[in-house]
Amino acid sequence: MERFDIAVIGTGPAGLEAAITAKVRNKSVLLLGNKGSSDKVSKAHTIQNYLGLPNIPGDEMAKAFLNHAADMGVEITEDKVNAVYSMGNYFAIQCHDGDYEASSVIVAAGMSAMKPFPGEIENLGRGVSYCATCDAALYKGKTAIIVAYSAEDEEEAEFLAERADKVYYLPQYDYVGSLGGNIEVTTGVKPEAIEYKDDQAILTTDGDTYSADGIFILRQQIAPSQLVPGLKMDGNHVEVDRSMATNIKGLFACGDITGLPYQYIKAAGEGNVAALSAVSYLADLKKSDN
Amino acid sequence: MVKKINQNEFKALDKSGVSVLDFNATWCGPCKMLAPVLEEVSEDFAGKANFYSVDTDENPDLAREYGIMNIPAIVVIKDGEKVDMNVGFVPKEVLSDFVSKNI
């Protein structure tokens, strides 16, 4: 497997700047995320304080960022990251569509506005999971609940339904799909809490209560400590030092994920620092290899 | 070295001293990732602890005996008694600390 010098997760200002800086420093870069940059950029009304781009509408800013990245030869790989594993002197990055390897990783995945449901974190790994395709094999002859946040999740539901006896699908978006068979779709239901009792996962909602062998919560973003097992947090944010280094050697973080203020130029600045820190980490790594 | 064993072999094992059991499954992504990390850790603790790998699909009784609900799970056994357990993938430093504090 090709091992990239630096993998960058996230295509907001932090991730794009990190990837551009890494490219300037002649490193091989894997940039994972949304090809349209971050929604937080593209859907902003006007940004007034970004140096050099005065009073720019969000969609134009996103375009300017993406054009800059493209001009530098930075390509975006559109894939959803499930987990990043620190393997010692490299990282294994498990994505939806495949696995990747990189010597260092920069996490610029932004902040999720979504809060976990009561009981979600407590039951993670015993009834609660974030990846239906990963655990599908476990669900042969069993039942599952999927709480979905995007139409892309319908594919995951179909994959799971090939193995499971029954799948309850609760879309939290405007559902216009055509799931059927052993998939029961219920729209307009808001999950409230998760419990695990007698080997059954129980989801209470503002409507009915659902019970199954497991619950899959397919959010667009997952908590950083779930994304990178062993990552040290400071409240809701990833703990970093001034070089944007985390507690995991070779793994850096930048942008909103590291804390306030949530400003575009702060995110881009941190992306720059994180990339330069990753570059010097790679130099040290090379020295210690020789 | 991490030795793959089944539940019958485990029963017959001399359990004096410290044993570290890795409960895993072939379909479990984090387990696959943790295996090479544990292999490295086992080299560092050679002579101090014995390391074993247990497939939970093939050895459900042993998994039940040690209360395995999620995998990967690393269980430390001292003279036959379960003394500690760590669930989920952890980086090498964390796994090393976990094993060393139980020795």
pLDDT digits (tens, 9 = 90+) for A169-209: 999 999 999 999 999 999 999 999 999 888 899 999 999 99
In B, which residues are within 8 Å of A126 by CB distance?
69-70
State pLDDT tens for residues A3-29: 999 999 999 999 999 999 999 999 999
- Summarize the confidence of residues A160-171 as an average pLDDT: 94
- Look at residue A250 in the predicted model and tell me its pLDDT: 97
CB contact under 8 A, A125 and B88: yes
Query: Does any domain span residue B34?
Result: yes
From the number of C-beta atoms within 10 Å of its C-beta (0-12, 13-18, 19+), residue A184 rates as middle
- Look at residue A122 in the predicted model and tell me its pLDDT: 80
Degrees (nearest 5) of the Cα angle A173, A238, A248? 120
Predicted confidence (pLDDT) at residue A71 exceeds the cutoff of 90: yes
Q: Specify the DSSP element, H or E, that contains B23.
A: strand B18-24
State pLDDT tens for residues B51-90: 999 998 889 889 878 877 678 889 999 999 999 988 888 8
Shortest CA distance from A125: residue in chain B:
B70
Confidence band for A1, pLDDT divided at 50, 70 and 90: confident
- Look at residue A63 in the predicted model and tell me its pLDDT: 97
Give Cα B17 distance to the centre of its chain. 14
Catalytic residue flag (residue B28): yes
Catalytic residue flag (residue B26): no
Grouping H, G, I as helix, E, B as strand and the rest as coil, residue A101 is: strand
- Look at residue A76 in the predicted model and tell me its pLDDT: 97
In A, which residues are within 8 Å of B34 by CB distance?
85
Query: Does any domain span residue B103?
Result: no
- Look at residue A198 in the predicted model and tell me its pLDDT: 84
What is the tally of structural domains in chain B?
Answer: 1
Residue with tokens 């946040």: A149
Catalytic residue of the set B5, B28, B41, B73 = B28
Query: Does any domain span residue B20?
Result: yes
Q: At B68, which CATH number?
A: 3.40.30.10
Predicted confidence (pLDDT) at residue A125 exceeds the cutoff of 80: no
Residue with tokens 């395995």: B68
Cβ(B51)–Cβ(B42) below 8 Å? yes
Sign of the alpha-carbon torsion through A260, A262, A76, A135: positive
Per CATH, domain A128-218 is 3.10.310.40: no
In B, which residues are within 8 Å of A94 by CB distance?
29, 33
Higher-confidence position of B32 and A184: A184
DSSP label of A100: E
Q: CA A222 → CA A116, A268, B89, distances in Å?
A: 9, 22, 16
Query: Does any domain span residue B52?
Result: yes
CATH among 3.30.950.10, 3.20.20.70, 3.50.50.60, 3.30.70.420 for A3-112+221-289: 3.50.50.60
- Look at residue A226 in the predicted model and tell me its pLDDT: 81
For chain A, percent of residues with pLDDT exceeding 90:
74
Predicted confidence (pLDDT) at residue B42 exceeds the cutoff of 90: yes
- Look at residue A88 in the predicted model and tell me its pLDDT: 86
Q: Is the ipTM of this complex over 0.90?
A: no
Query: Does any domain span residue B71?
Result: yes
Query: Does any domain span residue B99?
Result: no
Confidence band for A115, pLDDT divided at 50, 70 and 90: confident
Residue range(s) occupied by CATH 3.50.50.60 in chain A = 3-112+221-289, 128-218
